Structure 1
Amino acid sequence: MEPKSVNPTRRPQREAKKKAVAALCEQQRKRKRVPLGEITNDVNTNANANANDVVLPTQKKRNVSTSSNSDGTPVPEKLEKFEDPQLCETYVSDIYDYLRNMEVDSSKRPLCDYIQKVQRDVNASMRGVLVDWLVEVAEEYKLVSDTLYFSVSYIDRFLSLNDLTRQKLQLLGVASMLVASKYEEIKPPEVEDFCYITDNTYSKEEVLTMEADILKSLKFELGGPTIKTFLRHVCFIDYVSLYVEWYYCFCIVAHISFSFSVCRRFITKVGLEGVDASELQFEFLCSYLAELSLLDYNCVKFLPSMVAASVVFLARFMLSPKTHPWNSAIYEFTRYKPADLKECVLNIHDLYLGRKGGSLQAVRDKYKQHKFKCVATTPSPPEISLSFFEFRGADP
């Protein structure tokens, strides 16, 4: 039986293929790595992604170098909101609903009365001093604002479960900020940095032990929406509220249902002009009021979304005291009526005027800086008219 004929070109083809693969691999090794900030949104999203990843796109943007105006002031995040996946026209309402559901999860919420029920040595005043000091620490190490909000959240949640002595309260503070830094920052401070900031009151081993205790108490559930998470959404709606009002009125006249996805397409078509100084002032004022709320133990009982909505209400009132601070656009998005926010708004207003927490100066000093438009010096009427807590723009 004659042997089968062998194709004389097969071996050269195999060798050529191997060389081509080797060359491609070498090219891949030499190719410059693409930074995370340049990755575009792909429609083929991983279906098994963790639900908490909903907050990651904004976190990524914050950590990448941000632009600034000619005077050095940071540009508000609103300018980039139209490309923010969290505000995708198809999913914006669903994402907000998801965040609202997450914030009421009892496993991620502190007790509203933990100082009375759990703590025997720590009181509300001590907590305020600790949070005020953590604001300074966050400024010292240039941490993103979300790190501060998560730090305070971890402190409240830990104290809701564990009785602590006042001698270890500062240790809890730095360990909570260490955990939050690892969760939020690209390059978090080292453990030694947090020991140093306490004037070496605590050793590295003590900080690491407290870190482990925090993680165990929180069952490693570190994510979740904060005041800052909701504030970004509500500030965006405030920014485009005029356009939303137009569309809302059109829906009423045309007897059609209000849709944020359609509304957003309308806004994108119309286009928006650049943010002026007053818009900068508004966003910084909201951030200032939100950080003031962290100081007050009485604000622990309010949901983050309610605090964010109250902050926007109060900031709008302070910048335009004779105009009703609420409108249909913000109501449709937040689903809060002014009457719902009354207690929280008055609480934060007292903080702003120094009627409460007047001795805590770190947040106030921070927002007296020119890079924040000195919003801590913004004048405010001493009282808010009760008529502003009545809302006739919508009949829910």
Structure 2
Amino acid sequence: MLPSTRHPRPALSKLPRPGKSVFEENVRPGKEDCTQTKRSPSSPQGGAKKRSAFGDITNAHKNQQLLQKKKDGQKVLKKTKGTAKNNETNLKRATKKVATIEVPEDVKDTTVTSEEVTPPKKQEEQPVEQTLPKDVEDIDKDSMDDPFASSEYALDIFNYMRSREEKFILPNYIDVQRDISKEMRAILVDWVVEVQENFELNHETLYLAVKLVDHYLAAFVIAREKLQLIGSTAVLVASKFEERCPPCLDDFLYICDDAYKREELIAMEMDMLQKLNFDINIPVPYRFLRRFAKCAHANMETLTLARYICELTLQEYDFVQERASKLAASCLYLAMKMKDLGGWTATLQYYSGYPATDLLPLMKKLNSLLKNQPNDKLKAVYSKYTHRVFFEVAKLPALDMRRLEEEEEESNR
């Protein structure tokens, strides 16, 4: 896990209002932050607040009635004695009536014994042991004692997530959007990364929010004035899905510089969920990346480098159509090459489902992306990973392209 201490971040930049060149600049100079806006305990601008009381949900209000009954105990005892005598006489009358009832001879004894009710004992089913191919390590064996690791179901979970990738393959939707360009989408994602950093949200929330934006744009044509509203709503929905304590709605109105009203944000949330059929459990590369890093026994620095490469792809529209599992495997393989940690082992191929030959073309594309960084306008991801808490992996040089080309030629022979 990463160290808990974090260096202070610069203040969150706000996108301008829709009517004032929304996507020309990412920061408006000379604009003072609003300090009179409501903030939740999770907001970096506000302090912790006390929760409101849950109210009286117990039976404490009945204590006075019980005390009153105890005071009148003598009356209660007298009543119980009287009712006891009445019950005794009624019981004697009932037994006399039952004794006079005659059972017909043709009625058979239908009493069911305990032997007939009890089903035969079945042999206990023994758990089926997982058989792995030769030279493949069981990476879930060491965490069997940890109930939070879900070691018994980990392989099935990730196989299920890989099967769900078929359902969430994105088309080339940017050609359909008449008012949205690739550059505008990149600026929006850059701003979403700043929101994730300032609210200290999980990385899964960031990846899911970008996925929600892409799937919504693929299903609905919008105007550029609504793009920031869609981004804010996507972070709100992703926070509710991934976070333990998600930011409140007022926080998202604040980061949008009050460009939208509360009713607009709620209406967009409803519309986004309806357009996506409330199915937002979308596979993201970050989850696969942590799984594959465990297969490679990669240290935290190598995993952080792979995360940096993978996070850079969020801003690039050219990587939108890539599968999450393949993108994660390629990012990890490239990080391993940059750290000289060996090749793609049989364990990595088994758990990822991709041989090294399938990953090399995407690795070359990722390495070219590293060489073109940093971008003067989109620096949120680069600035984030230049800090010591992320091992300053953004400052590492890209891999020599000739090395990847030689490996690709050898694999094709």
Q: 1:83 to 1:353 in 2, by over 3 A?
A: farther
| Partner of residue 280, structure 1 | 300
Q: Give SS of 2:282's match.
A: coil
Matched, 1:163 2:181: no
Cα distance in 2 for partners of 1:83, 1:136 equals 38
Q: Is the 8 A contact 1:326 1:391 kept in 2?
A: no
Of 295, 298, 316, the residue aligned with 1:296 is: 316
The TM-score with structure 2 as length reference comes to 0.61
The TM-score with structure 1 as length reference comes to 0.64
Matched, 1:318 2:338: yes
RMSD of Structure 2 on Structure 1 (CA): 2.6
Runs of 5+ unmatched residues, structure 2: 1-87, 92-139
Cα distance in 2 for partners of 1:94, 1:185 equals 24
Q: 1:379 to 1:133 in 2, by over 3 A?
A: same
Q: How far apart are residue 81 of structure 1 and its match?
A: 5.9
Q: Deviations over 1:219-277 (max 9, x none)?
A: 1111132111111111110117xxxxxxxxxxxxxxxxxxxxxxxxxxxxxxxxxxxxx
Q: Give SS of 2:354's match.
A: coil
Q: Is the 8 A contact 2:386 2:394 kept in 1?
A: yes
Cα distance in 1 for partners of 2:367, 2:230 equals 29
Q: Which has the higher helix share?
A: 1
The residue identity in structure 2 corresponding to 1:114 is Y
Q: Within 5 A, what are the aligned runs for 1:3-14?
A: none
Q: Within 5 A, what are the aligned runs for 1:244-393?
A: 279-320=299-340, 324-354=342-372, 359-383=377-401, 384-389=403-408
Q: 1:200 to 1:82 in 2, by over 3 A?
A: farther
Matched, 1:101 2:120: no
Q: How far apart are residue 339 of structure 1 and its match?
A: 2.5
Q: Give SS of 2:277's match.
A: coil
Q: Deviations over 1:123-146 (max 9, x none)?
A: 111111111110000011110111
Q: How far apart are residue 167 of structure 1 and its match?
A: 1.3
Q: How far apart are residue 82 of structure 1 and its match?
A: 6.1
The residue identity in structure 2 corresponding to 1:234 is F
| Partner of residue 173, structure 2 | 114
Of 89, 112, 124, the residue aligned with 2:182 is: 124
Of 258, 261, 270, the residue aligned with 1:200 is: 258
Q: Is the 8 A contact 2:288 2:328 kept in 1?
A: yes
Q: How far apart are residue 204 of structure 1 and its match?
A: 1.5
The residue identity in structure 1 corresponding to 2:228 is Q
Cα distance in 1 for partners of 2:303, 2:372 equals 21
Cα distance in 1 for partners of 2:410, 2:157 equals 26
Q: 1:110 to 1:87 in 2, by over 3 A?
A: same
Larger radius of gyration: 2
Q: Within 5 A, what are the aligned runs for 1:121-200?
A: 121-200=179-258
Cα distance in 2 for partners of 1:192, 1:212 equals 17
Q: 1:363 to 1:313 in 2, by over 3 A?
A: same
Q: Give SS of 1:225's match.
A: coil
| Partner of residue 275, structure 1 | none
How many residues are treated as equivalent by the alignment? Answer: 274
The residue identity in structure 2 corresponding to 1:311 is C
**Same amino acid, percent of matched pairs:** 34
Q: 1:194 to 1:335 in 2, by over 3 A?
A: same
The residue identity in structure 2 corresponding to 1:98 is Y
